[in-house]
C-alpha cells in the first residue's frame, strides 16, 4: 500500500508551482520528512527524482531538518545516477556546506566523514557526464570546501582549465567566476 507521501509524489510534475505545493505539504507535516529523505536515495523508486525536487525546496526553508539525517544523506550521495535527482541534491549539498562554514551556531554541523562524502560526490558530478546545473553547484561547493582543504582549489583549477572550452556558456560563467576567486 502506498504511503501518504508516495501518493502525493505520484501527482508531482516538473512545474515549479506543483513542486512548491508538495514541498509545502512536507513543511506542514514534518513527520513526512524522514520518508522523503529515504525516497531520495532509493533509485529504484519511480518517484526518487520527484522526492529530490521536493527536498531541495524544503531545504531552502528548513535545512536544519537534515541534521539528524546527515550521515545517511552524505554516505548515499554516490547512489544517485539520475540527472533529475542529482541536480537538486547537488544544490542541497551546496546549501549544507555553506551552512556548515557559516559563523553562527544555528548552522548545520557536518562531520569530517560527511565533508569527505560531499567532496567526493562533488568531484564525481563535476568530472562525469552530468548536466551543467549539477556541475555548476558542484563547482561552487568545491570552491567553498577549498577554502578549508588546501588541495581542493588546485585540483578544481586543473579541471576547470582543462574542461573550459568543452562546455556551455553557463558552465563557462561559473568556471570563470570561481577561477577568478581562486587566483
pLDDT band at 24 (very low <50, low <70, confident <90, very high): very high
Question: Which tens digits make up the pLDDT trace of 59-69?
Answer: 999 999 999 99
**pLDDT on residue 107:** 81
Which residues are CB-neighbours of 34 under 8 A, at least 6 positions away? 69
* Angle in degrees, CA 94, 143, 75, rounded to 5: 45
The pTM for the full model equals 0.94
Chain segment 104-155, per-residue pLDDT in tens: 777 899 999 999 999 999 999 999 988 889 999 999 999 999 999 999 999 9
Q: 165 pLDDT exceeds 80?
A: no
Distance separating alpha carbons of residues 126 and 70, to the nearest angstrom: 22
> pLDDT: is 139 or 13 the higher one?
139
pLDDT the model gives residue 4: 87
Instruction: List C-alpha distances in Å: 53 to 5, 44, 159, 160, 164.
Output: 14, 16, 28, 27, 28
Tell me the per-residue pLDDT of 29-50, one tens digit each, with 9 for 90 and over.
999 999 999 999 999 999 999 9
* Domains by residue range for the chain, with CATH: 4-182 (1.25.10)
Amino acid at each position: 500500500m502506498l504511503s501518504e507521501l508516495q501518493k502525493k509524489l505520484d501527482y508531482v510534475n516538473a512545474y515549479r508551482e506543483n513542486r512548491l505545493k508538495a514541498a509545502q505539504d512536507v513543511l506542514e507535516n514534518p513527520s513526512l520528512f524522514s520518508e522523503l529523505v529515504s525516497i531520495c536515495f532509493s533509485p529504484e523508486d519511480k518517484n526518487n527524482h520527484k522526492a529530490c525536487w521536493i527536498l531541495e525546496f524544503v531545504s531552502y526553508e528548513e535545512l536544519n531538518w537534515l541534521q539528524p539525517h546527515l550521515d545517511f544523506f552524505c554516505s548515499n550521495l554516490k547512489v544517485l545516477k539520475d540527472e533529475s535527482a542529482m541536480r537538486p541534491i547537488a544544490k542541497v549539498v551546496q546549501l549544507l556546506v555553506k551552512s556548515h562554514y557559516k559563523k553562527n551556531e544555528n548552522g548545520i554541523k557536518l562531520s569530517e566523514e560527511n565533508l569527505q562524502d560531499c567532496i567526493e560526490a562533488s568531484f564525481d558530478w563535476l568530472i562525469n557526464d552530468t548536466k551543467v546545473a549539477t556541475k555548476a553547484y558542484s563547482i561552487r561547493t568545491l570552491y567553498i570546501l577549498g577554502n578549508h582543504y588546501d588541495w581542493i582549489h588546485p585540483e578544481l583549477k586543473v579541471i576547470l582549465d582543462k574542461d573550459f572550452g568543452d562546455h556551455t556558456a553557463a558552465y563557462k560563467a561559473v568556471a570563470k567566476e570561481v577561477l577568478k576567486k581562486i587566483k
